[in-house]
Amino acid sequence: MQVRFDAAAGGPHRTGLHVQLMRVCVAPAAAVAVIGVGTAVSVLALAPGPVPMTATLVVLCAAVACLAIVTSAFVYGRAIARSVARAAVAIPPAAGQPVAGQQEVYVGLARRLQGLVHREIQLLDVLEAQVEDPDLLKGLFQVDHLATRMRRYAENLAVVGGAVPRRQWSRPLPLVEVLRSAIAEVEQYARVRVVPPVEGTMQGHAGADVVHLLAELIENATAFAPPHTEVTVRARRVAAGVAVEVDDRGLGMPHPEQDRVNALLADPSRVDVGNLLRDGRIGAWVVSALAHRHGIEVLLQSNVYGGMQAVVVLPAALLGDRTAEQPTAVDLGQTPSSGGPTGTPTVPSPLIGTPPSPASARNRLPAPPPEETQAAPSEAFPVGPVPAVATGQTGGNGGAARPALPRRQRQAHLAAPLRQSRPASVNRPAGDHDPTMMASFLRGAAASGDPR
Amino acid sequence: MTTAGGAHQETWLDDAAGRLVRPYTVSAGRTRPTHPMELLSWVVATGAPPRGRLEPDHDVALRLCGVATTVAEVAARMRLPAAIAKVVLADLVAVGAVRTRPPSPVADPTDRPILEKLLAGLQQRL
């Protein structure tokens, strides 16, 4: 049976959970680094004719950067193994229970890896801008691609430890760039196509997380579809926000398997991570953790090509153009009794339109396979659940389906004589710059009953 | 193994976070333009609708070619390595959206009178 989300084909091991986590996250990074050095050296060896001095330096620099990552990966791996061994002697951990303090160690190590990869990519940026020779640049690109994938694993490792992303943007990010960034982190990126148009922006603080979430789903799609087929990524506006759909043309997943993964995607806390790791499905867990953090809805379902479609609904709270969003949300909120698709709490249903709707997919969940039942009690997935993310604290997701929030009335809390009082700044000396003057002027104009 | 210091806690904001789209995705890994071009070659949009679909970067490049400009200028404005700008522009030439011309003689870097004038100008500045 095909097992999707097989990030690092690891067989069943009886070692501790965290050792497995390290193996799954650091091992690919180290492997990628080794390939990087190999690539750099082979580029140097294969370059036709006499290679210019600067070019030699360029490639060697890249190789050294990669080597630094390899070394660090090994050092960290060994340190982790030692710390786990020590902890195991002190307190024998129960199955699936993290040893106290280890989480911090992982986050710390993940951050160091991130720091190194970040510097490596900065260096590559400088080198790529200087190199004009197509062959050398191709080699640099291969190193760049490997470094970008290493960064993804390092940042995922931090996610496992509960850390926030280190790369952040204060400006809204164009969604099309977010999608392309996710594609860049996938091994077979050339097979992935973004279907235009992709419009809109998203909040910069969640950029890195959303990129990794999508990368994990796209990677999964490319890995389980024949090499000659392409994977398409679409983004479209829906009532709840923006839906990103990743379609592959590979083999589908059996329904019980789909249900299991969807249950995990809906709520990571209800699934035994140990079982998951023994199956080698760390990718699904990472997707779930990222989605949960930002109130993102993720669902896997069969598509018309016989392959799989991953639907990711980015809630309105994550989108950049908030001002454009608000009128819609208020309008929908004020007419909750109008019925229609927005009246139901199952957010993604209006956007999919294919027979296996999320509601029906979830309704199959009450009969999970035995190992799932073992992981979570039988009442874990009631029929027609409202996913935790939909009712989450962020409040961004199901916003369209809920009645409008109570709105504050300006100055309603003040005693009557205090209303319309002027700020203290009126006592400033004449001629001095008064930053509140324009506001005072506008307030006065509004109070005069100007119909505008 | 040293203890985690402040350097490992910092976040990278905006420019420090690096570019979101890696350059290799812009050209899908290609580094060799399908049409020969130099750094100072002129490019200008033909105005004809492109045959086939364009990637977002091709759109941006095409808009930059609205007035005659050089490959180097397009690369700088798109913040891309020159070799990648050449690949993108060569794609546009291939779909008939952009026309290219060899560098103007004025831009010949071995033209002695030009170089002398440049030197004189620079000396006046200094």
> What is the secondary structure of A348-406 as a DSSP string?
THHHH-SSS-HHHHHHTTTS--HHHHHHS-GGGS-SS---TTTT-TT--SGGGGSPPPP
At A151 the pLDDT is: 94
| ipTM value for the complex | 0.78
A418 vs A334 pLDDT, higher one? A418
- A273-282 mean pLDDT: 72
Instruction: Please judge whether A138 and B29 are an interchain contact, meaning their C-beta atoms are less than 8 angstroms apart.
Output: yes
Domain A9-167, CATH homologous superfamily name and number:
Alpha-catenin/vinculin-like (1.20.120.230)
At A247 the pLDDT is: 95
pLDDT, one tens digit per residue, over A34-91 is 565 566 556 555 555 555 555 556 566 566 565 556 555 545 545 544 444 444 333 3
Q: What is the overall mean pLDDT for chain A?
A: 69
Distance from CA of A439 to the nearest CA of B (A): 32
A387 vs A204 pLDDT, higher one? A204
- A88-105 mean pLDDT: 55
Q: In the structure, what pLDDT confidence band is assigned to residue B93 with cuts at 50, 70 and 90?
A: very high
At B90 the pLDDT is: 95
Distance from CA of B99 to the nearest CA of A (A): 22
A383 vs A165 pLDDT, higher one? A165
Q: Within 10 A of A327 (CB to CB), how many other CB atoms are there?
A: 9
Measured distance CA(B54)–CA(B91) in Å, rounded? 9
List the helix and strand counts (H, then E) for chain B.
5, 4
pLDDT at A8 over 50: no
At A297 the pLDDT is: 94
pLDDT, one tens digit per residue, over A121-174 is 999 999 998 888 999 999 999 999 999 999 999 998 887 778 888 898 999 999
Q: Cis omega before residue B113 (within 30°)? A: no
At B13 the pLDDT is: 85
Q: In the structure, what pLDDT confidence band is assigned to residue A99 with cuts at 50, 70 and 90?
A: low
Q: Which residues of chain B lie closer than 8 angstroms to A132, CB-CB?
A: 39, 82-83
Instruction: Please judge whether A170 and B81 are an interchain contact, meaning their C-beta atoms are less than 8 angstroms apart.
Output: no
Instruction: Please judge whether B81 and A137 are an interchain contact, meaning their C-beta atoms are less than 8 angstroms apart.
Output: yes
- A310-329 mean pLDDT: 71
Instruction: Please judge whether A166 and B12 are an interchain contact, meaning their C-beta atoms are less than 8 angstroms apart.
Output: yes
B70 vs A99 pLDDT, higher one? B70
At B71 the pLDDT is: 94
Residue of chain A nearest B12, judged by CA positions = A167
User: Among A21, A24, A121, A108, which Cα is nearest to A66's?
Assistant: A121
User: Among A369, A209, A212, which Cα is nearest to A275's?
Assistant: A369
Tell whether the torsion through CA atoms of A167, A168, A171 and A174 is positive or negative: positive
Residue of chain A nearest B24, judged by CA positions = A141
Strands (E), A137-188: 167-168, 173-174
**Cα angle value A222/A33/B26 (rounded, 5°):** 50
pLDDT at A363 over 50: no
Instruction: Please judge whether A170 and B14 are an interchain contact, meaning their C-beta atoms are less than 8 angstroms apart.
Output: yes
Q: Which residues of chain A lie closer than 8 angstroms to B34, CB-CB?
A: none
At B17 the pLDDT is: 84
B81: tokens are 């390595």
**Residues of each domain in chain A carrying CATH 3.30.565.10:** 172-404
A48: tokens are 């036709």
Instruction: Please judge whether B18 and A122 are an interchain contact, meaning their C-beta atoms are less than 8 angstroms apart.
Output: yes
Distance from CA of B44 to the nearest CA of A (A): 22
At A390 the pLDDT is: 36
**Residues of each domain in chain A carrying CATH 1.20.120.230:** 9-167
Q: Which residues contact A180 (CB under 8 A, 6 or more apart)?
A: A194, B20, B21, B25, B56
> In Å, how far from its chain's centre is CA A346?
21
Strands (E), A83-190: 167-168, 173-174
Q: Which residues of chain A lie closer than 8 angstroms to B7, CB-CB?
A: 115
Measured distance CA(B11)–CA(B117) in Å, rounded? 48
Q: In the structure, what pLDDT confidence band is assigned to residue A326 with cuts at 50, 70 and 90?
A: very low
Q: In the structure, what pLDDT confidence band is assigned to residue B24 with cuts at 50, 70 and 90?
A: very high
DSSP label at residue A60: H
- The CATH architecture assigned to A172-404 reads 2-Layer Sandwich (3.30)
Of A172-176, B9-13, B92-96, least confident by mean pLDDT is: B9-13
**Cα angle value A362/A363/A367 (rounded, 5°):** 100
Measured distance CA(A343)–CA(A295) in Å, rounded? 19
> In Å, how far from its chain's centre is CA B48?
22
At A25 the pLDDT is: 52
Instruction: Please judge whether B8 and A111 are an interchain contact, meaning their C-beta atoms are less than 8 angstroms apart.
Output: yes
Measured distance CA(A416)–CA(A434) in Å, rounded? 27
Domain ranges of chain B: 20-125
Give whichever of A91-100, A167-176, A349-358, A438-447 has the largest mean pLDDT: A167-176
